[in-house]
Amino acid sequence: MVKRLRLIFLLLLQTCVGYQLTRSTRRFFLSVSSVATIIPAVAHADDPQTFNSRLNKMVTKSGLGLEVRRSVVKGAQVFDSIDGSWEKFSDRNGLGSQRKKQPPYPIQSPPPPLLPLDSATFAKLIGIFDAAFLLNAPVPCSPDALATEVDRIKLLVKPSFDRMSDPSPTTFEAYCRFRAYCSLSSSSPPPLLRRAKNKFALSVGSNIITLLNIPLPSTPTLDSCNSTLLRALEELRLLGLLARATLSDVNDEAREDFADGLDTTITVAVDTDIFQSSTILLSEQGFRLFTPSLTSFLTQYIFSTLPNTTVDVTEYFMDTNYNSDPDKFEVKQVLVNCELKQ
């Protein structure tokens, strides 16, 4: 019985690690762990590797493991909902001494409207995406196989897009192509997927730089790469591909950190990218391997020219207007976070 309780507690802990918990949820599981620590450890005849393998199998495959995982996630969702409801109630009624001291949250000025889209450039971008995927796909893929998969997805999702209040042909085209890339790669092992994703981003970024006719710095530095990216983003704006992009400044502290071999962060805030809707839709549906983010492609490629530097790019969907009600969350901006590691 003691062994069974200990396994259940380990299942709870392993499941909780992969789930983002709010303050109230964390407090709940801390209280559970304080009670569970009184369960005595049981000696196992198995070696640690065998025990971990059996534990992992129980977590992911057994009926007990699946039931515990569902219960933990459901319980965390309930506590998150309660915590969110309390936050909304507190905001409406100004509860809490610290909340009353806070100044009003700033409201960001809306981005300017998109300039007219250059259709020829959009067609060239689609060609760049397809060529990069065929060159760097984790498993060999022919142009005919890609075209067949794209047509299949278009036929599948067109009724849903037609029901949208304002369907965008650019969103539809980008969504179908990148979903096809993900579908054709889904059976590959994770190491191949990570390598393919990285090579795809670098290939697309390189070809966009060539398309925009922007020369790379002959001697790449933090400042010169920042300037190159700023120029490329302005060209995308003039072509009607994004409305606004704000690049973080490279200050003296960042230069010193980079010169000392420390990790350095560059951020780009992007407003109203024409591929933003398709990126969000793909991410919500779990197709995150390949997403059409022009800013991420350019950022990764340009800063990868720095010597002895590894570039890690992550995207975050942001609502620039604060609201404690999660149901009112609306993506207004994509924050591209670029970590430079030496």
Does the pLDDT of residue 11 top 60, yes or no?
no
Is pLDDT of 27 > 50?
no
Domain ranges for the chain, please list them.
2-101, 119-341
Rounded to an integer, the average pLDDT of 269-280 is: 92
**Whether pLDDT at 33 is above 60:** no
| Tens-place pLDDT, residues 229-253 | 999 999 999 999 999 999 988 888 8
What is the distance between the alpha carbons of residues 67 and 70, in angstroms, rounded to a whole number?
Answer: 5
Can you give the pLDDT at residue 57? 62
Confidence band (pLDDT; 50, 70, 90) for 102?
Answer: low
Per-residue tokens: 159: 């009724």
For domain 119-341, the question of CATH label 3.90.1520 is answered with yes
Interatomic CA distance for residues 47 and 52, integer angstroms? 9
- At 168 the pLDDT is 85
Q: How confident is the model at residue 36 (pLDDT cuts 50, 70, 90)?
A: very low
In this predicted structure, the answer to whether residue 61 has a pLDDT above a threshold of 60 is yes
Q: In the prediction, which pLDDT does 104 show?
A: 61
pLDDT tens digit sequence for 143-202: 999 999 999 999 999 998 888 866 788 999 999 999 999 999 988 898 899 999 999 999
The mean pLDDT of the chain is 81
